[in-house]
Every structure is written in structure tokens, then in C-alpha cells.
Amino acid sequence: MSSEEKAAAAEASPEKKPRGSRRRANRIAAMQFLYAWSACPCAPEELPEMLFDFFTRRTEPREFYAFAEELAVGTLENRSRIDEIIAACAKNWTLARIARCDLAILRLAVYELLYRRDIPPVVSINEAVELAKIFSTEDSHRFVNGVLDRVKTHLSRPLREAQE
């Protein structure tokens, strides 16, 4: 079945969407939340309300976005370490110079690489590159890929395997 046929089949019967589509939708939602948060950061005690508001106003029911909420919360809880790693791996770039969209994508991907052992690193990197292609500038996917490639070299786990 060609990719066009798969896409048509997924649209024709939403309950049989390809496995990655729900996760991709959740990564998109998490990235959008992180982008919005970076424009207007809230105090830690306001985070639950901000998450609730953000995810209840989306097209799918809030339960659909459980993975997105996990990613967003995990990313923000570990933001200091994540930002240090991005700063170290983004050669000749300060965090302030990185486009807000690219930074949201990088934060999300680095969180997955460091803290989500249930996701193979190559999947996290590929998804981040795809998000950059969809939401950012023409060259952003190369930048995101380059930074994440540097992060990847410091991982102490198999790149193509999920771990429990």
C-alpha cells in the first residue's frame, strides 16, 4: 500500500489511523504548548491550570492528549538541564538566538532523548525533524537535526531500541 493509499485509508476510517498519527498529534500539541509557554511563562503553581486550559480547548477530547501533557510537564520540570544540553550542543548559538519554535522542538526532543526510555532515540530525532519541517523555517530541520545529532552522541543507550 502506497503512502497516499495509507493516508486516504486513515482519513476514511479515523479509528484505523496509522500508529504514529496519535503520537505525532500529541507531539505537535506538546510542542505548541511549549511554544505558548515560552511566550508567556507561568509560575510553577499555575502550570496545571495552564495545561488544563490549553488541552481542553483543542479539537480532540482532553484524554486524547495525555501523552502530550506528559511530554510538556516532563520537559518543563527538567528545563534547566535540557537548556544546558541544548546550549552545549548548539554550536555558536545562544538559547536567545534560537527561534522560539525551534527551541520548543529541541526541548521536547531532548526531554524524550534523556527521560523517555520507552521511545527509541532515532524516533525522537526523526519526529523533531518532521516537526521542524512542518512548523518552522526552510532550514530549521537541518539545525534541529544537527543539534540532536550532537546530543545523541552522549546517550548511553541503544539508538534504535526502546527500553522499559
Sorted by where each begins, the domain ranges of the chain are: 19-152
CB-hemisphere CA count at 13 Å for 135? 23
Q: What is the largest CA-CA distance in the chain?
A: 49
Fold of 19-152: N-utilizing Substance Protein B Homolog; Chain A (1.10.940)
Q: Dump pLDDT digits (tens) for 115-154.
A: 999 999 999 999 999 999 999 999 999 999 999 999 999 8
Q: What pTM, to 2 d.p., does this model score?
A: 0.84
148 by Cβ neighbours in 10 Å (0-12 / 13-18 / 19+) ranks as buried
Position 41 scores a pLDDT of 86
The answer to whether the CB of 71 falls within 8 A of the CB of 27 is yes
The answer to whether the CB of 96 falls within 8 A of the CB of 15 is no
Average pLDDT of the chain? Answer: 87
